[in-house]
Structures are given as structure tokens and as C-alpha cells.
Amino acid sequence: MRSYFPSVVSFANHKDSIQKPTDDLGDYGQQMANAVAVQEIDTNLYMSQELWLPIGARGAFGGQIVAQALRAAFHTVGKTFNVHSLHSYFILPGDVSMPVLYEVSLLRDGRSFATRFVRAKQRGKAIFVCTCSFTKDSDMLSVEHQSTMPKVPSPDSLKSAEELLEEALANNNLSAKYRDYLQKRLDEDRPVDYRDVNPEDIDGKDGWFGDAGRISRYARWCITRGKLGDDPQLHACVIAYISDSAFLLTAARATGVPRRGFGMMASLDHSIFFHKHMRADECPRSGDGRGVSFGRIYTKDGTLAVTTSQEGLIRLTKAEQEKLRTKDGDAKL
């Protein structure tokens, strides 16, 4: 069995002690719950218990920071409250060598709504901030409408990320450096099973391509590898974790520039609108140096449950910039 979350740093007893992951980390669902968990250390003050550094990333996984901030905010509202929207900004990369502190400010406590502001800090500086709004379920009748979930192949017909990596490694013409990178990606077992959909297999594919035939949309299935229990607040946090995946790659693809042409990509802000309760262990997912992407997360029966948006920094490498200058003269980058 491959080590689960090999790049995770675990923190305990309010200290900077690092616990190395073991070969047998138990149930995947519990590991996912641990990834978004925070520990209370004072009134309205919480601390991360785990941080994950993805291969090639500048800092801790942004989705994990979002999820932990939301988890901290959930601890300050009653169990009858559910999050309906979250708006956040990434300020600095998270350092996985030390825990993140989450300071929760109680902005409003009403009968039907509650509002929280969360500041994530390391070394006395804010690395991330977010505002969360919570509401109670209502029995009031209301009209409903939603965008239609695109028709895509079922997840069972698609290969997992691990299977694709194994196929890539079977290629004997890979450079030693790229083979090492792929092997590290394969060994980095993740808590979520992502299955990407080929744009050519999306129903109405003509609407999924932008200028000059560039891919402007992206679809993938996702589900946690283990069961999470029935706590709806936990599921909301895990959905927040998942929602930060593949966003900037979508914006990057729309430019037509190959992935190797980007020298830097980093999330700047992230928003989530929660429309319906959904389970993360039974659900799918669907200029100026910046890119904006919008995402919709549907349940498997096609119900729109979550809407997300994200702006990110997308900088070209110097070589790619020179190509554009050569092609377009003095093109403004």
C-alpha cells in the first residue's frame, strides 16, 4: 500500500513537531476528515492539524486552507447553520513547516443568518482571509432553476489519475527527469479520486471551445476515496477542499499556451456558493497575467449543488513571452 498524503505535515500539542506518515494510515475517509480538521487553542482561535504541499507547489494546497478556514468558522456557529457562501483571498503561500492559525471574528449572529470573518496567519502575517455566511434550512416554498449539467461519460468508464500516470510511465522514451516527476506524482496518493473528461466527449462540445478552437471549459468527476460520515458541515468543508482543484489550469488552457509555457500560477481569490446539501463521498465535480474560471459542482443525478469562481495569477515563462513578441511584434503582454 502506498503512503497516503506523503507530503502532509502533522502538528500536535500546539508545537511545531512533525509526525512522519506511516505506511498504514487507516481509513481514507478519516484521513480526508483529518485534512480539513482544525484544533481549538483559544476562544475563536484554531490551528491546522495537517498541511499538504503538492509536488511543484509554492506553498500549502489552497483548497486545504479554504476548507480549514471554513471548518474553524463552523466551530463558532450552531449545528443548525449551514454555509451558503464563502468569499476569500489568498495573500501569501502557506508554509507547511509550521501550523496555520485561524482567527475567527463573529460579525453577526441572527435568527436565520450568521456571518464570520476568518484570518489565517503564520509568523504574525495574514496568508489568507475569508468571509463566510451561514443560514438555517427553511421550509418556505420557493421557485427553483439551475443550469443543466452537461452530458459526459460516466466515471466508471474513465481512467483514474493513477492509471493515467502508470500508462505514461510505461513510455520508454521519457527523460529521467520527467520519469522521476511522474513517479513522484504516482506515489503521492491523494484523498480524492479525480477522473478527467476528454473535451471531445462532452455533449455539445462546440460550446466548450473558445477562440481558435482552444479549450475554454473543463469537466471532471471526483469523489473522496472513503466515507465521511453524515456531518453536513464536514461535507461542506471537503467540497471546499475539492473546489480549488484544476481551476487555474482551465484558465491557462483557454490561452492556447502549453502548460510548460507558464512560469507561475497561483490562486488570488476563491468564491463558493452552496445551493444544496451534497455529500463529498458520493458526488461529482465538475489578460493582465490573470485568469478567471467559473465552476459548477453537480450531484450525480444532475442537481446543481455548488457554484464556484476563482481568479488566479498566470505568468508566462520568459521563453514563452519571447515567442509572443516574435509572433506579434510589440504585443502587449
Q: Which residues are catalytic?
A: 244, 267, 310
Task: Mark residue 16 as left, alpha or beta (left: phi above 0; alpha: psi -120 to 50; beta: remaining).
Answer: alpha
What cell does 106 get? 463573529
CB atoms inside a 10 Å sphere around CB 126: 13
Q: Which residue has the cell 501569501?
A: 92
What's the 3-state SS for 229-267?
Answer: CCCHHHHHHHHHHHHCCCHHHHHHHCCCCCHHHEEEEEE
**To 10 degrees, what angle do helices 62-74 and 28-36 make?**
80
What cell does 79 get? 449545528
Query: What are the residues whose beta carbons fall under 8 Å from the beta carbon of 177, sequence distance 6 or more?
Result: none
